[in-house]
């Protein structure tokens, strides 16, 4: 039987060119050292496993409107910015509507493995609505993993209830462990029926977050810590946060860039607080990585997001549309199990192939000078499945990988406007292309399934070499193959490159 995986056959996913490298190092090396029971919890969670996010989808239901704190990067008109991009308002659902929606999505998108509650306010500031949703889902859709994201203020009071409903994954947003820093981020909290401000408020919030983290770890629940990187406020401080949460047993640290636009009406947006550059984010993630597993593939999803990370299929599942759907959930569960098993088989094959390739030796340094070849950043257009399978002009984002003598590692993603939907006569295409070129700053190649003549020339002129030769190949193998081609062409050899440039 050939099963459809993200719109392609499972068999197709296993095809592709051979890796010429000894170490295509970014796939699930993150997980290989984990004990079986933890690996079981994360192997199909798109946020907890970088590899899984190419294959498995998540969805959020917006059942939690209220919040018990104020963050300077949040405007209550929008979703909770601790996991979301401001700028959209979610359709608020009752727990019953939410359960119906989850079943509709699970039946339609069998790759959806995780249901998260992440807003639009704080899920644990709305415990009745949040737990009513979890309770019903754990009974009626037991094959779906449950996940929640919180600011942590009410967390210690909710740990028992979370454990009772089999909620295996909890995200706490921890932006600081020092109340003086916290007072610059949180103007107030609502605590014991009173509004508390300043350093005192930040101190209570930090204590509750740390206590909640310890209690969850003691229960064997996996904890991811989100931190919003706010330049000049907590950038240096986040290294200490990373150390402390790791020491307390957090599984993963997700440092996300602050989004602060004046039009969102947030305190930071209005005050002109800047957001970090991609390089600043990467440097901080690298600095923290010595201490713990870092998440680099977060897309700051909406509180009602549906689909693979980075895509949003919410429009297919509005209340009026799901009302008309006839769902046989028992049949859907059988289909889902078969598809999940096919994906697992493919991932196992991929890991085995990688292990075989790890034994091969490749030149990592110039034979004459002995100098190690420098690392290169490459952008990739993909619509999922871990393949180079998207047209340059259709991409809404590019994944960025670093190839070096040590292998391939995932660095992050860069959002862009779609080039192909732009209107030629209004100059939209031109501006989308120059936006993409700006977004791909630092990348020396872009790998896609196809690319038009016009963007090809402009990208090349900007020093980003387009490459459509690895269409439908696995990403890391293709990136390493291009890196090896660059070495063979002398492009990573400083002396030869200088000579070529002169000529």
DSSP SS3 for 197: strand
Among 4, 34, 39, 70, binds ligand SF4 (CB under 6 A): 70
Helix or strand (DSSP H, E) at 479: helix 475-488
Q: Is 86 in the site for ligand SF4 (CB under 6 A)?
A: no
Q: Is 397 in the site for ligand SF4 (CB under 6 A)?
A: no
**Contacts of residue 89, Cβ cutoff 8 Å, sequence gap at least 6:** 77, 78, 79, 120
Binding segment (CB under 6 A) for ligand CLF, from list 30-38, 111-119, 202-210, 414-422:
111-119
CB of 176 to ligand SF4, least distance (A): 13
CA 23 to chain centre: 23
Among 24, 80, 104, 118, binds ligand CLF (CB under 6 A): 118
Q: Contact, 451 vs 431, CB < 8 A?
A: no
CB of 95 to ligand CLF, least distance (A): 17
- Distance, CA of 449 to CA of 351 (rounded, Å): 24
Report the residue number, 124 or 439, with the smaller CB distance to ligand SF4: 124
Q: Is 227 in the site for ligand CLF (CB under 6 A)?
A: no
- Distance, CA of 131 to CA of 403 (rounded, Å): 44
CB of 355 to ligand CLF, least distance (A): 28
Report the residue number, 184 or 353, with the smaller CB distance to ligand SF4: 184
Helix or strand (DSSP H, E) at 223: strand 222-229
- Distance, CA of 362 to CA of 31 (rounded, Å): 25
Q: Which residue has the tokens 């289909």?
A: 335
Q: Is 125 in the site for ligand CLF (CB under 6 A)?
A: no
Among 82, 90, 171, 208, binds ligand SF4 (CB under 6 A): 82
CB of 83 to ligand SF4, least distance (A): 8
- Distance, CA of 148 to CA of 129 (rounded, Å): 13
Neighbours of 188 (CB within 10 A): 16
Q: Contact, 400 vs 412, CB < 8 A?
A: yes
Binding to ligand CLF, residues 38-57 (CB under 6 A) = 47
Binding segment (CB under 6 A) for ligand SF4, from list 19-27, 53-61, 77-85, 327-335:
77-85
Report the residue number, 82 or 282, with the smaller CB distance to ligand SF4: 82
Q: Is 298 in the site for ligand CLF (CB under 6 A)?
A: yes
**Contacts of residue 455, Cβ cutoff 8 Å, sequence gap at least 6:** 392, 393, 419, 433, 436, 466
* 121 touches, from ligand CLF, ligand SF4, none (C-beta below 5 to 8 Å by class): ligand SF4
CB of 298 to ligand CLF, least distance (A): 3
- Distance, CA of 492 to CA of 494 (rounded, Å): 6
Binding segment (CB under 6 A) for ligand SF4, from list 64-72, 376-384, 445-453, 454-462:
64-72
Among 202, 301, 342, 400, binds ligand CLF (CB under 6 A): 301
Number of residues that bind ligand CLF (CB under 6 A): 18
Binding segment (CB under 6 A) for ligand SF4, from list 32-40, 63-71, 275-283, 449-457:
63-71
Number of residues that bind ligand SF4 (CB under 6 A): 11
Q: Is 114 in the site for ligand CLF (CB under 6 A)?
A: yes
- Distance, CA of 483 to CA of 19 (rounded, Å): 11
Q: Is 332 in the site for ligand SF4 (CB under 6 A)?
A: no
Strand runs labelled E in 367-471: 376-380, 397-404, 407-415, 443-447, 465-467
Q: Is 171 in the site for ligand CLF (CB under 6 A)?
A: yes
Using alpha carbons, list the distances in angstroms from residue 15 to 6, 9, 11, 155, 385: 15, 11, 7, 46, 11
Of the candidates 125, 441, 165, 466, the one whose C-alpha atom is nearest the C-alpha of residue 282 is 441
Region class of 150: left (phi > 0), else alpha (psi between -120 and 50), else beta: beta
Q: Is 165 in the site for ligand CLF (CB under 6 A)?
A: no
Binding segment (CB under 6 A) for ligand CLF, from list 126-134, 179-187, 293-301, 439-447:
293-301
Among 49, 111, 133, 254, binds ligand CLF (CB under 6 A): 254
CB of 415 to ligand CLF, least distance (A): 13
Among 147, 221, 258, 440, binds ligand CLF (CB under 6 A): 147
Q: Is 71 in the site for ligand SF4 (CB under 6 A)?
A: yes
Q: Contact, 344 vs 31, CB < 8 A?
A: no
* 237 touches, from ligand SF4, ligand CLF, none (C-beta below 5 to 8 Å by class): none
Q: What is the token pair recorded at 476?
A: 């890391």
Annotate 107-140 with b (16+ C-beta within 10 A) or e (fewer). bbbbbbbbbbbbbbbbbbbbeebbbbbbebbeee
Binding segment (CB under 6 A) for ligand CLF, from list 72-80, 110-118, 160-168, 363-371:
110-118
* 147 touches, from ligand CLF, ligand SF4, none (C-beta below 5 to 8 Å by class): ligand CLF
- Distance, CA of 73 to CA of 256 (rounded, Å): 12
Contacting positions for ligand SF4 (CB under 6 A): 67, 69-71, 74, 80-82, 121-122, 151
């Amino acid at each position: 039987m050939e099963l459809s995986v993200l719109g392609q056959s499972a068999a197709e996913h296993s095809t592709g060119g051979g890796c010429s490298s000894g170490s295509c190092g970014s796939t699930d090396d993150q997980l290989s050292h984990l004990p079986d029971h933890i690996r079981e919890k994360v192997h199909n969670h798109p946020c907890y496993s970088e590899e899984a996010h190419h294959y498995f989808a998540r969805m959020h239901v917006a059942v939690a409107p209220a919040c018990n704190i104020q963050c300077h990067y949040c405007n209550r008109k929008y979703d909770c910015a601790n996991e979301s991009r401001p700028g959209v308002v979610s359709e608020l659902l009752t727990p019953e509507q939410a359960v119906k929606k989850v079943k509709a999505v699970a039946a339609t998108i069998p790759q959806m493995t995780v249901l998260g509650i992440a807003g639009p306010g704080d899920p644990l500031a709305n415990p009745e609505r949040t737990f009513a949703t979890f309770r019903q889902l754990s009974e009626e859709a037991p094959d779906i993993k449950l996940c929640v994201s919180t600011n942590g203020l009410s967390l210690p009071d909710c740990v028992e209830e979370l454990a009772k409903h089999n909620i295996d994954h909890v995200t706490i947003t921890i932006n600081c462990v020092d109340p003086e820093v916290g007072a610059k981020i949180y103007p107030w909290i609502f605590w014991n029926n009173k509004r508390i401000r300043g350093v005192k408020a930040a101190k209570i919030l930090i204590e509750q977050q740390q206590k909640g983290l310890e209690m969850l770890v003691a229960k064997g629940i996996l904890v991811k810590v989100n931190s919003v990187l706010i330049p000049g406020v907590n950038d240096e401080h986040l290294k200490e946060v990373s150390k402390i949460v790791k020491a307390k047993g957090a599984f993963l640290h997700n440092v996300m860039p602050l989004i602060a636009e004046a039009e969102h009406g947030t305190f930071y947006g209005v005050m002109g607080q800047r957001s970090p550059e991609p390089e600043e984010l990467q440097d901080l993630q690298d600095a923290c990585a010595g201490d713990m597993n870092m998440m680099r593939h977060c897309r700051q999803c909406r509180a009602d997001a549906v689909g693979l990370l980075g895509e949003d299929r919410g429009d297919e599942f509005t209340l009026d549309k799901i009302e008309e759907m006839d769902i046989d959930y028992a049949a859907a569960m059988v289909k889902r199990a078969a598809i999940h098993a096919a994906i697992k088989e493919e991932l196992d094959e991929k890991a085995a192939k990688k292990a075989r390739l790890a034994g091969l030796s490749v030149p990592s340094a110039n034979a004459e000078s002995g100098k190690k070849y420098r690392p290169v950043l490459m952008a990739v257009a993909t619509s999922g499945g871990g393949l180079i399978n998207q047209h340059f002009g259709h991409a809404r984002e590019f994944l960025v990988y670093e190839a070096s003598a040590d292998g391939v590692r995932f660095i992050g993603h860069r959002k862009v406007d779609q080039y192909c939907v732009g209107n030629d006569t209004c100059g939209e295409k031109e501006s989308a292309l120059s936006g993409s070129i700006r977004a791909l700053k630092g990348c020396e190649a872009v790998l896609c399934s196809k690319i038009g003549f016009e963007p090809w020339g402009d990208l090349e002129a900007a020093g980003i070499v387009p490459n459509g030769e690895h269409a439908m190949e696995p990403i890391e193998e293709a990136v390493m193959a291009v890196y090896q081609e660059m070495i063979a062409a002398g492009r990573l050899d400083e002396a030869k490159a200088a000579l070529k440039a002169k000529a």
